[in-house]
Amino acid sequence: MSVTDDAIAKIKAMIISGDLEPGARLPREADLAAQLGVSRNSLREAVRALSLVRILDVRQGDGTYVASLEPKSLLDAMSFLLEFHQDNSVLDVLGIRRILEPAATALAAQSMTEEGVAHLRTLVVPETTSVTELVALDLEFHAAIAAASGNKVLASLLDSLSLPTTRARIWRGMTEERAFERTVAEHRGICDAIAARDPELAQARALAHVAGVMEWLRRAAG
């Protein structure tokens, strides 16, 4: 382990133990470096690394603070990194969605309000919608389901995984025959299962939906 990695681990340990709570200001650089037993240069590198992943918040002229550590804030960093690897890792991202999205949909079938179901139905659009409009509504449709799961971490994670697959969704809508109709039909089936409060059916339909996108992408890439 490098000295910088050691400093990162020690700062994280202080946060986990509660010695540094969300919103707390870190001690002066010289004092913290002495406390951790590292050089000030190594400490600066550690702070820089932890700020990139939203664990620390460096405020010029004010000091360094522990961030809020809210799931969305932490996962924004992952979403940002995924944007740089869209073309190479979109299948991997979809693979993660294939694991998580059915679980979120099953939870939504148990907890989504009637108002939520009514809103979800407005996002199931007619076949005449343009590709870009369909993709925008597709993102909103899945985000509404994830939010209704009641698990903020799961919802934030799925949200961060949705944007890197946007280009693939647009590409599919432009090139695959009957992509509109298939997407609308699958969304309607998922919505009906949620409305029926049938978590197993909702989970199965969500799994088939994501798996279908993955199967198309493999064929298109091959």
Integer Cα distance of 145 and 112 in angstroms: 8
- Per-residue pLDDT tens for 120-137? 999 987 655 566 677 778
Q: Higher pLDDT residue, 179 or 113?
A: 113
Integer Cα distance of 65 and 172 in angstroms: 44
pTM: 0.61
- Per-residue pLDDT tens for 26-62? 999 999 999 999 888 889 888 887 886 678 888 888 8
Q: Higher pLDDT residue, 155 or 88?
A: 155
Within a 13 Å sphere around the CA of 45, how many CA atoms are in the beta-carbon half? 11
The pLDDT-based confidence of 100 (bands split at 50, 70, 90) is very high
For the chain, the average pLDDT equals 82
**Is the torsion defined by CA of 95, 99, 100, 101 positive or negative?**
positive
Q: Read off the tokens for 196.
A: 């029926």
- The predicted pLDDT at position 31 comes to 92
Asked if the model's pLDDT at residue 84 lies above 50, the reply is no
